[in-house]
Amino acid sequence: MFSSDVPPISLGSWPTPVEPLARCAKALGLGPEDLWIKRDDVTGLGGGGNKIRKLQYTCAQALAVGATTLITTGAPQSNHARLTASSAARLGLRCVLVLGGAEPESAQGNLVLDALAGAEIVWAGGDTASAVDAAVQAVADSGGVPFVIPFGGTSAVAAQGYVDCAREIEQQLPGVERVVVALGSGGTMAGLVAHLGVDRVVGVDVGAVADPVSTVAGLLDEMPGPTVRAADLQILRNQVGQGYSTLTEASAGAIRCLARTEGIFLDPTYTGRAFAGLIQLVKDKAITAGSETVFLHTGGLPGLFGHPELSTLR
């Protein structure tokens, strides 16, 4: 259950801006004030991204117990891993990233930034949970005072960072009708729903977890506030394509659309899929002219450089 009495520390620049997407809205057949973007890609630390709001809570817990090492897990292009490494550097802590799979021949994207921030990288040698868990345990047993941050930085306590974000959005756009967001490990959507309610939040599954509905519902069960039924959550599951690490045609189109109408870049795995979901909602008339929709940009720009196939987009 949600039980942390440890206040968050500040690791970013708040509030992040909300900006109109007038040209993009026009291209999609919406009005100039119908579509907005919440810029959690410019949170400040480590290249920015949504994980900073969560890390303000988890790092506070780590410091409270006297941790000397932050340990977390993720895929090779994990934005959470990059921002954990950056947070550790800011706080003067050792950081070990346990990443799934085998070490690539060359480092690209987030892996370059992980190393620049001073993180030690341990390759689990497999993508299974058991392989990753065994590698985490070995690091935790190696000395110091370890603090293990879960996959994606997500917990009921960390999700409180997106209750904070939801409050910002309400102050910046009091009439907002919906927020569309990528759904990875679930904490970002859970925090938004906890404050804004199920009717105003749409999550776009990116394939990071096997059962996103129960993942988000489980987090909400541990958070303060009204009970939320899993069946009431608005989650789109049609943007995963061939899997979490692949570039879908719809994501590529969404990346191109926002880059060429607004000069804003999305990543292939999270925000590209989420914006593709938003475009589909417009096509399906679930988003129509005359209502305010906010797209939550959760960051991930370095992940673009882990997908060289994007260089062929025209």
C-alpha torsion sign, points 12, 257, 280, 31: positive
Q: Give yes or no: 291 in active site.
A: no
Cα–Cα dist 47/38, whole Å: 16
Active-site entry in 3, 78, 214, 291: 78
Closest CA to 114 of 143, 80, 147: 80
198 in the Ramachandran plot: left (φ > 0), alpha (ψ -120 to 50) or beta? alpha
Residues taking part in catalysis: 78
